[in-house]
Amino acid sequence: MANFYDYRRNGFSTFSNVLFKYYSKLDLSEIELVLLLQLEVFDQEGNYFPSNQNLAAITNLSAIEVSEIIQGLINKEFISLEQTHDSQGKINNYYSLKPFYEKLDQLLNQEMINLKSNREVDEISLNKEDKTDNPIQRTVRQFEIEFGRLLSPIERQEIAAWINEDHYDPEVIKLALRESVLAQIYNFKYVDRILLNWQRHNLRTVEQVKNYLQRNV
């Protein structure tokens, strides 16, 4: 019966979640992504030029299909076929995944630029809002800006409960949101734990919270 140690003997490969999050924006099909991941696995194992038969053996593809997809990835400039010379002058072929990661870098850089631009527009819009606006709506807007998405109805209700039922100062909620963003944890449970912790320490005002945070830096 297989166990964890059997899996360990086969090794582990590391992939960034970015690959799965953005591959469709690069106009990659699922089959092309699978083949790229298999090439990465072989690369991490030190096999830089697996044969079509090697790749077919670990996919549901035939060697001919693998050959066609590999050629398509080369044509679309996701991978390149390179050559190198060993110490004896022998020529060795290898697949380079550098073009793929360069495309991914360009996409991520553009995504970050777009996100920053959208946040700046949102912040300008928020600053222009009437200061007498509903504090719940202002707090909801702050969360949407920092989380980079619209809040669900349940999340909006939770903010309303913090203000109307728990009687948290909206500015204190904003500080808790800031702590969550600094920790790069974008969820309501984490913000709620921060607020509960401050409540246990009897921290009710913005000044009290700021003094507490300064003491615990």
Mean pLDDT is lowest, of 48-62, 69-83, 116-130, for 116-130
Q: Quote the longest CA-to-CA distance of the chain.
A: 78
Residue 111 lies in a domain: no
User: How far is Cα 76 from Cα 84, in angstroms, rounded to an integer?
Assistant: 22
Q: Is residue 132 scored above 50 in pLDDT?
A: no
Residue 159 lies in a domain: yes
pLDDT in tens, 22-72: 888 899 999 999 999 999 999 988 999 999 999 999 999 999 999 999 999
- Kindly state whether residues 71 and 138 are assigned to the same domain: no
- Give the closest residue to 135 by CA, choosing from 170, 164, 161: 170
pLDDT in tens, 89-99: 889 999 999 99
- Kindly state whether residues 15 and 66 are assigned to the same domain: yes
Provide the residue range defining the domain that includes 98: 4-102
The CATH number linked to 149 is 1.10.10.630
pLDDT of residue 124: 56
Q: Is residue 120 scored above 70 in pLDDT?
A: no
Note the Cα 128 to chain centre separation in Å: 31
Residue 176 lies in a domain: yes
User: Total domain count for the chain?
Assistant: 2
- Kindly state whether residues 8 and 85 are assigned to the same domain: yes
Q: Is residue 147 scored above 50 in pLDDT?
A: yes
H or E element at residue 38: helix 30-44
Give alpha helix (H) positions in 98-205: 98-128, 135-147, 153-164, 170-182, 188-200
The CATH number linked to 95 is 1.10.10.10
